[in-house]
Amino acid sequence: MITRRSFIAKSTLAVAAASIGTKAFSTTAKQSNNLPLVISTWKHGMAANEAAWKVLSSGGHSLDAVEAGVRVPEADPNVITVGKGGIPDASGKVTLDACIMDEKGRAGSVTYLQHIVHPISVARLVMEKTPHVMLSGKGALKFALANGFEKEKLLTQKRKEEWKKWKKEHKEFSNKINIENVSEDNHDTIGMLALDKDGRVS
C-alpha cells in the first residue's frame, strides 16, 4: 500500500531525475521494493552514491547518507565543481555553498564559505544547532571553526595556474547558458537525494 509520505518521497526522486536528464545522474537501488535508493548528479556522483549506499544498506538514516555521499566529491581535488580543487571565482578564491534537508523539512545551508573542505557538514550543523537556515561568508566560517572544522587551502596549484591563465587572457563572463556546452568539465555542483528503508527522504 502506498502511503502519502512514500508517494511524495518517490515522486520527488522521479521529478528530480526527469528534470536533470539521463546523462547527468546515476542511481543505486538494490532491493526489490526500491528502498533504499540514492540518486545523484554527474559522474562524480557514482563515488558519492557508493558512500551513501554504505549508510543506507546498513539501515542508516537518509540524512547521514547524503552527508556521507556529498563529502566524497567535496574532498576530491580532481572534481572541479565541488569543494577542494574547485574552480575559483574571478578574484581567485574558492568559495563554496551547500544545503541539506531532512524528511521533516528542516534545512541548513552555507554560502560563500571559504577554507572549509566539507560545507555539507557545516550546513547540517546550521540546521541542527542554530535557529537559522543559512549562514554566509565570514559568519559561516566563524561558525565552522567554532564547531571543530579546520581551515584548509582549497585552491590547488593546477586550478591556480588555470585561473592565472584566464586572468591573463581577459576572458569575459557569459550569463547565457548553452545546454549544448554542458559536459563533465562544464556543469554545476552535485545534487543528491536519498530514500532510506523507512521511507525518509533527504
CA separation for the pair 45, 32 (Å, rounded): 23
Cell of 14: 522521479
Of 90, 94, 86, 87, which is closest to residue 115 (Cα–Cα)?
94
Provide the pairing of β-strand 107-113 with 134-136.
Answer: parallel
For residues 162, 167, 171, 176, the Cα torsion angle rounded to the nearest 10 degrees is 70
For residues 166, 169, 173, 176, the Cα torsion angle rounded to the nearest 10 degrees is -100
Say whether 189 is catalytic: yes
Cell of 21: 536528464
CA-to-CA separations, 36 to 59, 63, 74, 175, 192, in angstroms, rounded: 9, 12, 23, 38, 14
Handedness of CA 47, 49, 52, 56 (dihedral sign): negative
Cell of 98: 551547500
CA separation for the pair 84, 153 (Å, rounded): 8
Q: What are the catalytic residues?
A: 189
